Amino acid sequence: MKIKEKMKFYSLDEIMDKHLGHIGTPRRDTFEAKLLLDIL
């Protein structure tokens, strides 16, 4: 049986950068604005 490799962990910022773009991009800004409105 093969030994499992260690699981890699990602920060929330890394995941958001990958899927929404870096801070300052229009898609990321739109997402963060909607998120802020949902929280309020």
Give the pLDDT confidence score for residue 2 in this predicted structure.
67
Q: Where are the domains of the chain?
A: 1-40
pLDDT at 1: 57
pLDDT, tens only, 1-40: 567 778 889 999 999 999 999 999 999 999 999 999 998 8
Residue 28: burial class (beta carbons within 10 Å; 0-12, 13-18, 19+): middle
Q: Could you tell me the CA-to-CA distances from 8 to 4, 23, 26, 30 in Å, in that order?
A: 12, 23, 29, 29
